[in-house]
């Protein structure tokens, strides 16, 4: 069920894989965004919430590969949020981002009780979703931030046209890469890590590639039939 799960101090973080506790497919896609035969997303979210013992709302996003960050608090009414990152200082809320090759990113300042979650794909890295999320957390009082970089496609596997590599690397040089077979590639994880380092954020990385690891969802490997893994973070009272 979990590619990574950690509870330390006041924060709990988890990245799911594609297998439920009993071996059934576990899909955390936004309802309607992946074929129903993959596994019902509502059931997947219920299973994860039960496993983690979540009692409050789980706040997700309709992700659009941009750089927008939305703060949420106790007034959240369950309405759809269109953006690629969330931040909160509200202990009752669990933040959720979804991915199937892009980088799911979780962040926390445990002392300040401020958390964030971001979906960082190629366009989002260029749009600055990572530094925007860090800035939004600092506006809520965060200072010493730690980040967890979840499973994503690695630079050895993310083949792209030469023009695309040049365009992205012009904005974020650390993304420049080659595949293991010698063709142009992007390393979006390296780009995310570089942006976090530039903002003084400590990083823990879950070193699993979604294309190489069959236990994870991958849109590039599985196509339209891919579900989504989830990155979840909450403040623990």
pLDDT in tens, 4-42: 999 978 899 999 999 988 888 899 998 766 555 556 667
Residue 97 lies in a domain: yes
Buried/exposed code over 129-142 (b: 16+ C-beta within 10 A; e: otherwise): bbbbbbebbbebeb
8 Å CB contact between 95 and 133: no
Residue 196 lies in a domain: no
Residue 173 lies in a domain: no
Helix and strand numbers (H, E) in the chain are 6, 13
Residue 152 lies in a domain: no
Range of the domain at 73: 2-142+207-235
Please choose, from the candidates 227, 225, 10, 219, the residue with its C-alpha nearest in 3D space to the C-alpha of residue 113: 10
Whole-model pTM: value is 0.96
| Choice between 8 and 82, residue whose per-residue pLDDT is larger | 82
- Residue 40 confidence (pLDDT): 66
Whichever domain contains 108, its CATH number is: 3.60.140.10
> Rounded mean pLDDT of 85-104?
97
Residue 190 lies in a domain: no
Whose structure tokens read 């993310």? 158
**Domain count for the chain:** 1
Residue 151 lies in a domain: no
| Choice between 117 and 31, residue whose per-residue pLDDT is larger | 117
Residue 147 lies in a domain: no
pLDDT at residue 177 greater than cutoff 90: yes
What pLDDT band is residue 3 in, cutting at 50, 70 and 90? very high
Average pLDDT, the chain: 94
Residue 136 lies in a domain: yes
């Amino acid at each position: 069920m979990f590619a990574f799960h950690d509870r330390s101090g006041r924060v709990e973080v988890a990245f799911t894989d594609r297998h439920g506790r009993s071996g059934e497919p576990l899909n955390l896609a936004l309802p309607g965004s992946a074929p129903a035969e993959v596994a019902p997303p509502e059931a997947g979210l219920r299973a994860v919430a039960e496993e983690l013992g979540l009692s409050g709302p789980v706040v997700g996003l309709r992700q659009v590969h941009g750089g927008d960050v939305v703060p949420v608090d106790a007034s959240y009414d369950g309405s759809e949020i269109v953006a690629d990152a969330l931040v909160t200082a509200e202990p009752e809320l669990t933040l959720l981002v979804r991915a199937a090759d892009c980088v799911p990113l979780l962040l926390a300042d445990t002392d300040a009780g401020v958390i964030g979650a971001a979906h960082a794909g190629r366009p989002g890295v260029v749009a600055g979703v990572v530094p925007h999320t860090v800035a939004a957390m600092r506006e809520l009082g965060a200072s010493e931030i730690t980040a967890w970089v979840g499973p994503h496609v690695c630079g050895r596997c993310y083949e792209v046209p030469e023009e695309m590599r040049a365009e992205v690397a012009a904005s974020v040089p650390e993304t420049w890469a080659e595949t293991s077979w010698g063709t142009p590639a992007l390393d979006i994880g390296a780009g995310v890590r570089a942006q976090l380092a530039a903002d003084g954020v400590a990083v823990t990385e879950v070193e699993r590639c979604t294309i190489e690891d069959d236990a994870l969802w991958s849109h590039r490997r599985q196509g339209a039939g891919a579900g989504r893994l989830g990155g979840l973070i909450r403040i623990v009272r």
